[in-house]
């Protein structure tokens, strides 16, 4: 296996770890039932983003010039980070948990691929299409199975706005993944790109947290859940996600994160005591098949030509060096 394949597998593994960490959020939230979903999202993305910026402060300072040069890309990514949790949880409230989850999580890989195709001119492969199809089908089955045992939470008049908000959540997820990778391709170290994007996005979420976050301080249990959300799924999860984005395209990364609802479902069965139907287990099998399809090594004749983005704190500054970091999709 050559170095390119090794780098790709490292990227896949890093994103998979991120998906596993993100999959714990639903179970963790059950230990703070008095805290609204929007407050959970604000403390997770907002608090985790600010922590990530603090940890990456020295790298952000080193790359301040390049970040200023690419401020539009940085600002777009930060706005997407701030929009994502608000749109995601509002979608579930209006359209129902099942519909909101399927649209938000399921649309992200497709929108990410469309962004890369239109803005980067990257070619989509049959392998990606098959993998994404398997993953989307799996997410749909899994969410339908989880929703079959619950009373629908969406209202008839709220379904259409909820679906639109779900698409907005998927678009924002795809956008901040793409902008972070674009910053890395522009010569900015992964930690600096992710720290700056999520730090600025976290600042934008602070007003929402101040308005909705009072229940987080009502008990030590609620505060512990909020701290866990910010530290583990968001801080550690997005550190891993950024590590993966430096090695694989955003469309591949967002497809791999379809594994997140699998982790959530398994934890719900093991810890919360929920039951999963045959349809749900079939959905898990399809998502696992998606991961195998996406992450399996390429044959010599179809090996991808991607290369990893330098993670060094000293980024290439010449146009020639920056061009060498450009990455094509397979």
State the Cα–Cα distance between residues 281 and 270, nearest whole angstrom: 14
Note the pLDDT of residue 157. 58
Note the pLDDT of residue 312. 45
Tokens encoding 205: 């979420």
Beta carbons within 10 angstroms of residue 299's beta carbon: 7
Positive or negative, the Cα torsion across 79, 81, 82, 88?
Answer: positive
State the Cα–Cα distance between residues 189 and 66, nearest whole angstrom: 10
pLDDT by residue, tens only, the chain of 330 residues: 566 778 888 999 999 999 999 988 878 888 988 888 889 889 999 999 999 999 999 999 999 999 999 999 999 999 999 999 999 888 877 877 667 777 888 888 888 888 988 888 877 778 888 888 888 888 888 777 765 554 444 555 567 788 889 899 999 999 999 999 999 999 999 999 999 999 999 999 999 999 999 999 999 999 999 999 999 999 999 999 999 998 888 888 888 888 888 888 888 778 877 777 888 888 888 888 888 887 766 554 444 444 455 444 444 444 334 333 333 323
Which residue bears the tokens 């590590």? 243
Note the pLDDT of residue 2. 64
3-state secondary structure at position 291 = helix
All residues at 6 or more sequence positions from 292 whose CB lies less than 8 Å from its CB, including other chains: none
Which residue bears the tokens 């296996």? 1
| pTM of the entire predicted model | 0.80
State the Cα–Cα distance between residues 138 and 97, nearest whole angstrom: 16
Beta carbons within 10 angstroms of residue 138's beta carbon: 26
Note the pLDDT of residue 230. 94
- For 299, which DSSP code? P
């Amino acid at each position: 296996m050559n170095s390119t394949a090794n780098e790709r597998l490292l990227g896949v593994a890093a994103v998979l770890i991120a998906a596993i960490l993100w999959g714990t959020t639903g179970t963790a939230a059950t230990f703070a039932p008095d805290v609204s979903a929007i407050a959970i999202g604000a403390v997770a993305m907002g608090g985790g983003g600010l922590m990530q910026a603090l940890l990456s402060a020295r790298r952000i300072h080193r790359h301040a010039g390049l970040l200023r040069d690419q401020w539009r890309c940085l600002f777009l990514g930060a706005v997407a980070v701030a929009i994502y949790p608000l749109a995601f949880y509002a979608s579930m409230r209006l359209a129902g948990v099942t519909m909101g989850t399927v649209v938000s999580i399921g649309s992200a890989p497709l929108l990410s691929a469309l962004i890369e195709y239109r803005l980067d001119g990257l070619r989509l492969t049959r392998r990606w299409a098959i993998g994404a199809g398997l993953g989307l089908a799996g997410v749909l089955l899994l969410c339908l199975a989880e929703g079959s045992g619950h009373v629908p939470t969406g209202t008839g008049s709220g379904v259409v706005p909820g679906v639109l908000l779900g698409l907005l959540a998927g678009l924002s997820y795809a956008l901040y993944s793409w902008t972070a990778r674009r910053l890395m391709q522009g010569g900015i170290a992964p930690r600096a790109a992710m720290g700056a994007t999520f730090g600025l996005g976290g600042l934008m979420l602070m007003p929402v947290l101040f308005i909705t976050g009072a229940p987080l301080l009502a008990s030590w249990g609620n505060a512990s859940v909020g701290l866990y959300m910010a530290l583990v799924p968001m801080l550690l999860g997005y550190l891993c996600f950024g590590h993966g984005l430096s090695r694989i395209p955003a469309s591949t990364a967002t497809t791999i994160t379809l594994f997140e609802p699998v982790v959530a479902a398994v934890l719900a069965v093991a810890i919360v005591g929920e039951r999963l139907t045959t349809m749900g287990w079939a959905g898990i099998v399809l998502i696992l098949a998606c991961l195998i399809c996406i992450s399996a090594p390429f044959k010599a004749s179809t090996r991808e030509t991607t290369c990893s983005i330098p993670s060094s704190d000293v980024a290439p500054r010449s146009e020639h060096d920056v061009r060498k970091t450009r990455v094509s999709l397979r």
